[in-house]
Amino acid sequence: MHAQAPPHIPARDRLFPGEGAGLVLCFVFLLWANAITPLWADDYCRSMPFSLPTIARIVWGNYNFWTGRWFTTLVTFVVLDLRPYGGLVAFAVVNAGLFTFLVHVVGHLCWRVAGRPALPRAGYGVAQCLVVFLMLWWLPRTIGEVALWKTGAIGYLWPVAGEMWVLARIVSGRMDMRGVQYAAVFLIATFLEPLSLLLTLVLAGVTVQAWRQARRLPWALLGAHAAGTLVLGVAPGNYVRMRTMTPSPLTDRLDGLLGNLGSLFDPFWLPFVLLVGVGLCMGRGHTPFPACLRAGRGWMFGALALAYMACLLMFPREALAARVSFPASVLLVCYLACLLARCVAEPGFGRVMALGCTGLVAAHLAIVVPDLTLLARISRERDAQTRAQVARDQPVVLPRVTMGPRHKLLYVRKDIIFVGINPDPHNMLTACYARAMGASSVRSAP
């Protein structure tokens, strides 16, 4: 591979060679994936005729009696309630754009943290961008829940993209912002409690370090983010909701956390670790093992991932859904991306990466496209059967989807993205679907 050292990468981070083409490919695929993914679970519970006063009343009620994630809830209601007016089209574009933006931020952030190694020429730059995208897709436990499910994507992908942008600004030293950017930082910090707390602590540490070194203190950025964390954390609904859950002492939470931490790693890591391992072996003459594993300052992402998981101790064990670990997975992806950035600078590795990327993309499409297509077909048939029975003024009975546990359909062999209709018509999610479809009741039967 012919690596080229950039003469200068400006503060605003221009696209790397080949990155633009790679990001376009990512966006096109993600736009299709978002467009074809149907509504699921809580999406139906948040679908109703659009009314700002009604939405505001529900959001205020949730803040006081269920969750402090008021901005998340507000955005979700607006998107889903505007469904008849193109809300889902707008969501598909924005959501695909945010995932693509996350790929861009991770690539540039990790290049800086890895020590600004030499960049590849454009052809290999496309492959590098696609490998980062594939790591972000396959290494998290529940990508369907956090990137395609409407409610889940707004609650997890959006804050992760925002907080990684904040972290990139910290690493690059660009902590002076415009007023609208500080407002955005405040809103980003109101999305997800443990991630918001972690970034506030990081900003506090950066501020202390700047004070000790007699540098300008990022008071405005720290204040905006800390304010968002505070508004999120003091919501009465957080404590009301916690009282409805099974009591969970610290030992019980720790046991659940250790299980959650161990399950971050699965066989899908193997091809990416193998690809990076080949690059490390090719560069052992420059940086011997195990020093190469530091990846410049890339090791700090592993530390942040552990710190994030430690923040989950604030939740009862019952609340530790798999999707809550998504930010930790992204931080671990960043560590691998730092190693990859250093491997790319090795002569000859570009061809290895291009070959590996081709195989990974082929496997990705061979698995994801049929699964999403099947998911869309099941949803269309379910909706058509529901409308036909509603038109005859009948209680709706739908065929039961029984792939996977608890009558759920497994997606990309590791995710649960689609919740089948429950046999109990009074089940909350089944009742939400019935209400959204105008049915008196809905249930499933074999």
Contact (Cβ atoms closer than 8 angstroms) between residue 69 and residue 155: yes
| Local confidence pLDDT in tens for the 446 residues of the chain | 444 444 444 445 589 999 999 999 999 999 999 999 999 878 999 999 999 999 999 999 999 999 999 999 999 999 999 999 999 999 999 999 999 999 999 999 999 999 999 888 888 999 999 999 999 999 998 898 899 999 999 999 999 999 999 999 999 999 999 999 999 999 999 999 999 999 999 999 999 999 999 999 999 999 999 999 999 999 999 999 888 888 889 899 998 888 888 888 888 999 999 999 999 998 776 777 888 899 999 999 999 999 999 999 998 988 888 899 999 999 999 999 999 999 988 888 989 999 999 999 999 999 899 888 888 888 899 999 999 999 998 889 998 775 544 444 444 455 655 666 888 899 888 899 999 999 999 998 88
pLDDT of residue 285: 63
Q: For residues 441 and 394, is the Cβ–Cβ distance under 8 A? A: no
10 Å CB burial of residue 396 (0-12, 13-18, 19+) is buried
Chain mean position to CA 212: 35
In angstroms, rounded to a whole number, what is the distance separating the alpha carbons of residues 33 and 7?
A: 38
- Residue 156, class by beta-carbon neighbours within 10 Å (0-12 exposed, 13-18 middle, 19+ buried)? buried
3-42 per-residue burial string, b: 16 or more CB within 10 A, e: under 16: beeeeeeeeebeebbbbbbbbebbbebbbebbbbbbbbbb
What DSSP element (H or E) covers 104?
Answer: helix 87-113
Sequence spans of domains, the chain: 3-354, 370-445
Q: Are 77 and 54 in contact (CB under 8 A)?
A: no
**Amino acid at position 14, single letter:** R
Distance, CA of 72 to CA of 95 (rounded, Å): 14
Q: Which helix (H) or strand (E) holds 309?
A: helix 299-311
Q: Residue 428 has what pLDDT?
A: 86
Name residue 100's beta-bridge partners: none
Residue 138: its pLDDT value, please? 93
Through-space distance between the first and last CA atoms of the chain, rounded to whole angstroms: 57
Q: What CA–CA distance (Å, rounded) separates 234 from 145?
A: 27
Rg of the chain on CA atoms, in Å: 23
Tell which residue, 15, 38, 3, 5, has the closest CA to residue 419: 38
